[in-house]
Structure 1
């Protein structure tokens, strides 16, 4: 008989074992970590400096130190670091990104659906906050090549100066996701468009109206459907 359970590798009690509570408590700790799985982040390659018991992280590729050799695993802090190896079908919520991931037996992904040979579709939301200056500001975010754009939402984070309003769009269509948008802090817009396919990486931009930007900050959120070809 195995000394651990086949799926979660929880330690099992042995016949006539002394100090059964130690093994039992270890199993409860691992079960507590795996149930309703949520991790703080998935970008760390080294442990945080001041972890709290119960903290969980999805270990990033290239991990070193106490996390070396555990990329893709769940790191649990319980007085020290211990690790849970995921299996196909595990789901995890990444708190830092408000993102759900699923493990396909090889790695973690944010796919909505997929095929046995690797075809897949993913619904993605990414955000960026831009400091405004000049006649327009280009975002580092791009609508990806061969993706479908559903819309772009915006919020004025700090009041805009210099311009009387602004538009959110792309080069040549500067108000595609909204025009004459409010410059007061808190003004927002959800620029939904009919689903449109893009065939080149296309940067977003914020364009001033009624004068050039001399200050202010705007946050953008880009919503897309992304696709993967089968292997």
Structure 2
């Protein structure tokens, strides 16, 4: 019999083993880390300086130090760092990005559906907070080429000055996701559209009404379907 379980590599007790509690506790620790898997982030290439016992991270490409050689694995902090090697079908909640990842046997991916050859369909949501100035402000987030846009939501997170209202849209369709939106702190809108395909990367735009922007901040949340071959 193997000394480890086949899926989670949990250590097994041996017949007549001394100090059985050590092996048992090791298995419980690993099971605790893998069940209901949630990690803090996936961008670190080195361990945090002051980890908390129980912290878990997906090790990023280029990792060194104590994490060298463990790219894509789950780094678990106990009294030191130990690592869980993911297998196809593992899912992990990624707290920093508020999304769920699936391991396809090679990489962590965020997809709703996939094909054996690597085709993917993914629902994504991205956000950006824009500082307002001038007649309009363009976002750095874009509706991607070959994506299907569903909505752009907005929230005024710092009261807008200069303008009496604003629109959220794209160049040429400045109110596509909402017009005459409120400038007061906390004003919100969910700009739902009929699903629309875009065939070029298309930045979002916030356009001033009733005067140019002299201040304020608005957060945008773009939701769309993306596809891979």
TM-score, with structure 2 as normaliser: 0.99
Q: After TM superposition, list the pairs within 5 Å mapping 1:1-231 onto structure 2.
A: 1-229=1-229
- The Cα of 1:29 is off from its aligned counterpart by 0.1
SS at match of 1:31: helix
CA distance in 2, matches of 1:102, 1:67: 21
- Quick check: 9-18 or 27-36, which moved more? 9-18
**Offset of residue 72 of structure 1:** 0.7
Offset of 1:137 from its aligned partner?
0.6
Report the secondary structure of 1:3's partner residue: coil
SS of alignment partner, residue 66 of structure 1: helix
Shift of 1:35: 0.4
What CA distance in whole angstroms lies between the structure 2 residues aligned with 1:45 and 1:134? Answer: 39
C-alpha deviation, 1:57, in angstroms: 0.7
Q: Please state whether the residue corresponding to 2:14 is helix, strand or coil.
A: coil
For residue 30 of structure 2, give the secondary structure of its aligned residue in structure 1. Answer: helix
How far is the alpha carbon of 1:2 from its aligned partner?
A: 1.2
Deviation at residue 42 of structure 1 after TM alignment:
1.1
Cα deviation 1:60-98 (Å, max 9, x = unaligned): 111111111111111100010000000011000011111
| Deviation by residue 1:94-120 (Cα, 9 ceiling, x = unmatched) | 111110111111111110001111111
Count of residues in Structure 1 that have an aligned counterpart in Structure 2: 229
* Cα distance in 2, alignment partners of residues 212 and 165 from structure 1: 10
Query: Runs (4+) of structure 1 moved beyond 4 Å?
Result: none
The 1-side partners of 2:153 and 2:60 are apart by: 30
Cα distance, 1:49 vs structure 2: 1.1
Structure-1 separation of matches of 2:115 and 2:108: 15
**Within 2, Cα distance between the matches of 1:48 and 1:174?**
43
Shift of 1:18: 1.2
Structure 2 CA distance for aligned equivalents of residues 180 and 10 of structure 1: 59
The CA distance in 2 between the partners of 1:42 and 1:167, in whole Å, is: 35
TM-score computed with the length of structure 1 as normaliser: 0.98
- Give the Cα separation in 2 of the matches to 1:47 and 1:217: 34
Secondary structure of the 1:22 match is helix
